[in-house]
Structures are given as structure tokens and as C-alpha cells.
Amino acid sequence: MITYTGHPFVDTGFAVITAFVRKRRFADLADDDFQQIADYIEANYVRQPLRSFLTVAFTSNAWFAQSAFNPDRPDLSPEKQTEAREKRQYWADRHLRQWQQSAAALETCLFTGLPAAGLELSQKLQPGRVGRAQMPLLQGDDAINFFINGDPGLPMAAEAILALQAMPLGCAKVGGGLLAVHCDDEALTIAFATRFLQRNLNDVAKAQAAGEKKLPGSPRSLKTLLVETLTEILIRQIQEEERRARRPAITAYYFNNGQSPFLEIYHLPLQITGFLLAVHTPAYRAIWNELVQRGWQRAGISGKQGKAVDPVEPHFNYLYEDLFTLPAQAARFVRTYFLRIPDLRRSADDPRREYSPRREADLVSWPLVELFAQEVLLMTDDRVTKLKELGDKLADYTRYQGGKRFFRQFFVEQRSDNFLSLLNKANIDYTRYKRGQETLFDLDSFLTIFMEGDEVLRKDWRLMRDLVLIRMVEQLRDWIAGNPDAIPAEEEVAANE
């Protein structure tokens, strides 16, 4: 029985096989399933576009890529063609079909716990051991560093060797590398592999029909593709009423195992995936989708000498990209996407240049920000409640006492001493307005929201101010509609950043 191993490349490979035969679990895989994927690999890895492209995963020493094993080389005699074909079949069987034989090796697979394969995969390694031509980012077959007792290669079961051969089919081609997505949830790993596999199979079929030698890459950037694919999976699960027992952690591996090998790792922690799960529920879906829609890279407007250019599919969604900066850059994220503060330094194709709290006040949503504070910033319910109460009171004070002048000051102030003075003055005025029956905040609320301990202002006091401001904007929609100049112009806001 095949089980989830915890290794990204091996698990992605088994996920590909599971998706290819339309099953739901690794444990359901049987010999017929291994035969189906082996037949596809044998028929297509030796052809373009995969023969050249997959050297990014397996190096040019892979069994399907070596020129010496290619019977279709020009000027070969029939005898040489037969010899090359036999050699390629010899190595193909060792990579794709050793699972058909009873393993005779004395070693155990490091990943599955099954007996290691019994036949050689390289003339330089012991039988059943894999090197860089089978598993990406290992060392060469005769390198001894970083192996136990200087004994090169890793013992691996025949089923896992086949999974590694299938693994690139479940990766997305992005730029000059492959993107494999691995989760602490088997079903989600299979879901990612399924989507990438479907895209790759379609692209391979189209390229072969058209005689193309290159496999097209994703039009999306890596981070945008990752979040966009996750979003598609989450939406499908919600539509099919699949309930998750827990929120997943997701790690993406972007790698190239060719002439210039590299590995980059991207991680979406539990608090971000929990937030993404929540925003696709009915309470938040509409406002979140609108924010996402306004985060896409703008299409080109004009070409050389003002000529119109054909629209191209956007490469970036900046909101998706910035999810990877959380929670470290939460203050900038909140100010940009939830408060709609523009950044005039951005390029013309960046939509954040055109954000406007004045024109887009309808996108400022306290319920969404409240969810963000709880899921991403991990704020306690008590602290979120105090932020909301202060926002409500300040909205009431703005409407009936402070007016546009106070609102604008509260919106743009960047100096801590001026901000504290503004709050103290507003607290005194509010108490008078309420005839001594109520204050803006008591000492406990002020300390909870703005202070570290009893004497030190929080480093992120601007973030706390912006969260309160978002609640104020939502409560003052009708007032702002009648006083649009209460919100500072984009140039004024940007100048105070």
C-alpha cells in the first residue's frame, strides 16, 4: 500500500499517478494504475516537447534524453537503430516497470519503507539507488559527499522511482523551472497535481499535433499561479460541500535540475490558508472577489508611437503576490488593499497606482478586516472588539462634532506625538459632547489598542489607527457621500506615506 511520504517530489509523483487514473487516495493505487502512467511516460517522454523540456527535471542524462539511445538519429544503419532502441528499452524498463518484479534488494526505500528496487538505474550506482538523473537536486552518481558512509545514491522502491518519473507532469512550468506544490494534506496535494497535470496533458497534445518542440509555460507569475490555483480548489470544495477538518499548510518548490540547478521555497502558513478558506464563504466572497479583480496587472494600452497593442493575459495579481509578505508586512497590506491608499510610484500597469479611498470607499469593509485581524494578525476577540468600539465612537464624534477637519487629520497623521495629541483632544471633546456620560476610551482600551505595556507606544500604532479608520469609513458612508472632500485626495495621501 502506498502512503503519504512527506517528501515533496515523491508525493507529487504519487499524486500525479492518482490524478492520471482518476482515483482519490494514494492507498487506492494498484498495478493497473502504475501500468497506465508507465505507458504514457514511455510513449511521450521520448518525443517532443517533453524530451527536451524534462531535462530541467532529470538532466540530459535521463534515459529518454540521451542521444545514444535515440533510434531516430539520422544516418543510422538498421543494426544501429535496433541497438539504440534496445538500450532505451533496457533503461526505460528499469525506471518505469521494476514494480512488476519482486524486489530482491537487501535495502529499504528511504521514503516509502518498501523494499528498494533490485535493478540498476545507473552504471555508477548500486542496484535500486537513485541519483540526480532520477531525483532532482541530488549530486552526481559518483559524488560521495553527504551520503551515509560516503556511499552514493539513495535506495528507493520501484513504485517511488516510477512516481519520480511522473512527478514533472504534476508541476507547473513557470519561466525556466518547475513548480511542485506540497501540502500537509494528501487530498490538497492531489488537487494541485490534478490541475497542473490537466494543463500539461492538454499542452503536450496540442504541441505534438502542431509539431511544436516547446511546451508553453504558465502566463502567470509563480506566486499568482499558486494562489489562483489554490482559490480554484477552495471554490470547488465549497461548491461540492467538502468540509475541511483543519486548515492546511502549503509549501511550493520551484526548481531546475538542469545545467544551472536551483531551488526556491515558498510557504503559505496556516493563518494565511485559514484566511483564504474563510474569504470564499458567502459572508465575504463578494467583497473579496472585487478586491482580487482590482489587483490584476493592467493590460498594455499602447505600443510604439501610440499604436494600440493586443491585450495580453495579466502576469501578476498584486494582491495574491502580497499574501506572501504576510504577516510581516500586514500594515502595508491593510493600508493598500483594505483602505485603498494609492502608491503613485508604481508603474503604469500596476493597479495600485490608481487606488483611491475617495472613489473606492464602497470597498472598505470592516467585516473583512475583522476576519483578517483574527486569522492573519491572530488578534484576540477582546482586542478586535475594542477596535470596533473605538471606530464606532470616533465615527459618531466625526459626524456630529469633529467634522471634516478631524477626519482628515486622523486619516493622514504620521507622527506619533501629533496622533496622541489628536486622540487626547478628541477624547476630551467627545466627553463634553456626551455630557460626561461616556468617553472615547478608558485606560484599559487605550493600552490594549495602542500601547506596549503601560508606557511604550506600539511600533505598529499606524496599523491600529488604520483598522479603526476602516471601521469609521464603513460607519460614515452616507456622511462621506455628502462630504467627499473629507477624504484626502490621492496626492495628499501619497505625500504623507
Q: Could you give the maximum distance between any two Cα atoms of the chain, in Å?
A: 104
**Within a domain: residue 314?**
no
**Within a domain: residue 315?**
no
State the amino acid at position 344 in one-letter form.
Answer: L
The band of 302, judged by pLDDT with boundaries at 50, 70 and 90, is very low
Q: What is the pLDDT of residues 394-448, one digit of tens each?
A: 999 999 998 999 999 999 999 999 999 999 999 999 999 999 899 998 888 999 9
238 with 384, same domain: the answer is no
The band of 237, judged by pLDDT with boundaries at 50, 70 and 90, is confident
The Cα 280–Cα 391 span in angstroms is: 26
Q: What is the mean pLDDT of the chain?
A: 91
The band of 310, judged by pLDDT with boundaries at 50, 70 and 90, is low
Q: What is the pLDDT of residues 201-218, one digit of tens each?
A: 999 999 999 999 999 999
19 with 147, same domain: the answer is yes
**Within a domain: residue 119?**
yes
Residue where a domain stops, chosen among 263, 282, 300:
263
12 with 144, same domain: the answer is yes
pLDDT of 243 reads 60
Q: pTM of the prediction?
A: 0.91
**Within a domain: residue 194?**
yes
**Within a domain: residue 341?**
no
| Percent of the chain whose pLDDT exceeds 70 | 95
pLDDT of 305 reads 56
| Count of structural domains within the chain | 2
**Within a domain: residue 235?**
yes
pLDDT at 308 over 80: no
**Within a domain: residue 61?**
yes
398 with 253, same domain: the answer is no
54 with 178, same domain: the answer is yes
Q: Which of 40-44, 170-174, 231-235 has the lowest mean pLDDT?
A: 231-235
Residue where a domain stops, chosen among 239, 263, 287:
263
239 with 387, same domain: the answer is no
Mean pLDDT of 316-332: 96
Which three-class secondary structure string do you get for the chain?
CCCCCCCHHHHHHHHHHHHHCCCCCHHHCCHHHHHHHHHHHHHHCCCCCHHHHCHHHHCCCCCCCCHHHCCCCCCCCHHHHHHHHHHHHHHHHHHHCHHHCCCCCCCECCCCCCECCCCCCCCCCCCCEECCCCCCCCCCCCCCCCCHHHCCCEECCHHHHHHHHHHHHHCEEECCEEEEEEECCHHHHHHHHHHHHHHHHHHHHHHHHHCCCCCCCCCCCHHHHHHHHHHHHHHHHHHCCCCCCCCCCEEEEEEECCCCCEEEEEEECHHHHHHHHHHCCCCCHHHHHHHHHCCECCCCCCCHHHCCCCCCCCCCEHHHHHHHHCCCCHHHHHHHHHCCCCCCCCCCCCHHHHCCCCCCHHHCCHHHHHHHHHHCCCCCHHHHHHHHHHHHHHHHHHHHHHHHHHHHHHHHCCCHHHHHHHHHHHHHHHHHHCCCCCCCCCHHHHHHHHEECCCEECCCHHHHHHHHHHHHHHHCHHHHHHCHHHCCCHHHHHHCC
**Within a domain: residue 187?**
yes
The band of 245, judged by pLDDT with boundaries at 50, 70 and 90, is low
Query: Which residue segment(s) compose the domain that 442 sits in?
Result: 375-495
pLDDT at 497 over 90: no
pLDDT of 177 reads 95
CB 22 within 8 A of CB 7: no
Residue where a domain stops, chosen among 202, 229, 263:
263
Q: Which of 3, 230, 93 is nearest to 15 (CA)?
A: 3
pLDDT of 244 reads 61
| Percent of the chain whose pLDDT exceeds 90 | 75
